Every structure is written in structure tokens, then in C-alpha cells.
Amino acid sequence: SIRMTPFIDHSSTTPALYFEPIERRGKSGNVIRLGRYTDKKEMSKLEAAYAPVVFKSKVVSRAHAEIWVEDGQWFVKDIKSSSGTFLNHIRLSPACQLSQAFPIKDGDIIQLGMDFRGGSEEVYKCVKMRLEINRSWQKRINNFNVSAHTRLRSLTQSQPTQAQQQECSICLVSVAPCQSLFVAPCSHVWHYKCIRPIIIRNYPQFLCPNCRAVCDLEADVEVPD
């Protein structure tokens, strides 16, 4: 499997196009095409795990690059894009020229296109992604993350009033293993995506939406007695 997540480049003055993480499965003879969003009806005909990866950016060509796996090794190739494909900041081929196949590994950075007009608008931003290769096992529920979740729940249930909390009070969806969670000093727990707007609103001060307790998120960590 291969997972593509946005690469946040802090050295750049303009952030690249943001997108939700994308995961695809690879098998011999199957090519995953990267390109610009065009017709959703055509994409819907393909199984989601093998569908093309598309972005709503005008600096990405309709048929920009290809990724595939062969004998356990993943490869990337530019397929005559006009604005280029970059692997770890190195361009694979000149404009409108087919590149050779380059092996890719876990942690590599791929960039599609270059910012146009300074990337001032979303549709003119390039796409930068970090690759996670063959890490799908980390997303599955296993003994380690189940026991970690159990330990976390035992900590947050140390107070009687918290004993029945089994769901995020913001989205009302259960808190479970393999989720990104935020635990407040008052022991309330939420999905990080749900609580983030509240965290950044008055950071570093945090006001618990459940019990109204106030804490300092920048306070030094103290070892409990």
C-alpha cells in the first residue's frame, strides 16, 4: 500500500495545496495515475483503492505522473507534464518529456508542478506530498494500540465523574484505538480534529468545554507524586 499525505514545508513562504490523506493499494501490472481533477463520473467506474489520484490545481497536468509497484519496489515516473514532477526536490525530466522510472521509498517527498502567480490562489499552488509505503499494518487495530487505548481510558477514568465517558462530546462519535486524541489535564478526551479549533483559539490557555476547567498547555510537566 502507499499513502500520500500533505508535506508541510516550513522553509517555503507559501504553503502547498492541502488535501486529505490518500491511500492506494498496489499490485503488479496496476498503475496509479496522478493528475488534475477532471470528470468524477469516469473516476467512479474504478475501484476506490486503485482509482487515479487527482488534485484541483491548475499547475498539475491532467496526466501528470504515474506510480506503480513491481516485485515489491515502488516507482514514480513523469509522463510528459508541463510543470514537472520532483522527487526529493529534484526534477525528473524537462517539460513535456517522459522521464525514466525512479524508485521511491518510505518518507520520500514528491512534488507535482510549481507555484504559479506566487501560489496566491489555491488553484495555482503546487502539490507536495510525503509518501508512506507499506505502513497499512500501523493503521489496523492490534494488541499494542488496544492496550495503549485501555491505559489511556484508565487514566481518564480515575475520577468517578469521568467513568461513563466513551465518546467525543463534540462529534458524539466513540473514542477508539487508532484515532488522534487530545487529553486535557482535567482528564476529558476528544478527537484532536474536533477539539483543535478550541485549542488554538486561546492557546496556550485551554478552557475545557465539558467542565470549564482552565489550564496552561505550555506549563512544565511535573512528575506525579
Domain ranges of the chain: 2-138, 143-216
**Three cell numbers at 113?**
508542478
pLDDT, one tens digit per residue, over 57-75 is 999 999 999 999 998 899 9
Rounded Cα–Cα distance for residues 66 and 71 (Å): 17
pLDDT, one tens digit per residue, over 78-97 is 999 999 999 999 999 999 99
196: CB partners within 8 A, 6+ apart: 182
Look at residue 194 in the predicted model and tell me its pLDDT: 94
Domain covering 2-138 assigned CATH 2.120.10.30 in the classification: no
Q: Answer yes or no: same fold for 2-138 and 143-216.
A: no
Residues across the chain: 225
pTM > 0.75? no
Judged against a pLDDT cut of 60, whether residue 23 lies above it is answered with yes
Least-confidence region, from 22-36, 97-111, 139-153, 186-200: 139-153
81: CB partners within 8 A, 6+ apart: 60, 61, 63, 64, 65, 95, 96, 112, 113
Work out the average pLDDT over 199-218.
Answer: 86
Q: What is the CA radius of gyration of the chain?
A: 22
Rounded Cα–Cα distance for residues 81 and 35 (Å): 9
pLDDT, one tens digit per residue, over 145-192 is 666 667 666 655 555 444 445 789 999 998 888 788 898 888 788 999
Place of cell 509505503: 133
Look at residue 112 in the predicted model and tell me its pLDDT: 96
Q: Which is the CATH superfamily of the domain at 143-216?
A: Zinc/RING finger domain, C3HC4 (zinc finger) (3.30.40.10)
Report yes or no: 112 and 127 within 8 Å, Cβ to Cβ.
yes
Report yes or no: 131 and 75 within 8 Å, Cβ to Cβ.
no
Look at residue 71 in the predicted model and tell me its pLDDT: 86
